[in-house]
Amino acid sequence: MSKLAYEIKKLECLPFDRRVVERNLTSGAVTRKAYDKHVKGLKDLVDASEEFQVTFGPEEDEAQTEDSAEDEAAEDEAASA
């Protein structure tokens, strides 16, 4: 048998992962008491955070309007030529 060029690792299931904690609470895999203890034990990382702003491009409607105006101008040029 050939040796793998990489090792496949089994992903560790994190019982308090916010993506699955509700399912784990419902199924009984995690108790509410254990979950509350975990949440209370989390560190407050507000001092380690950094504020930033996200700016998006023009709204889709505005972009379509600009494209339509350019198309109309090109059509007018073609018609007058």
pLDDT in tens, 10-54: 656 689 998 999 999 999 999 999 999 999 999 999 999 999 999
Q: How confident is the model at residue 74 (pLDDT cuts 50, 70, 90)?
A: confident
Q: DSSP per residue over the chain, as a string?
A: -PPPSS-PPPPPP-TT-TTTHHHHHHHTSS-HHHHHHHHHTS---GGG---------S-HHHHHHHHHHHHHHHHHHHHH-
- Judged against a pLDDT cut of 60, whether residue 1 lies above it is answered with no
Q: Rounded to an integer, what distance in angstroms lies between the CA atom of residue 40 and that of residue 42?
A: 6
Contact residues for 34 (Cβ-Cβ < 8 A; gap 6+): none
Q: What is the DSSP string of 23-34?
A: HHHHHTSS-HHH
Q: For position 80, what pLDDT does the model report? A: 67
pTM to 2 decimals?
A: 0.47
Q: How confident is the model at residue 2 (pLDDT cuts 50, 70, 90)?
A: low
pLDDT at 26: 95
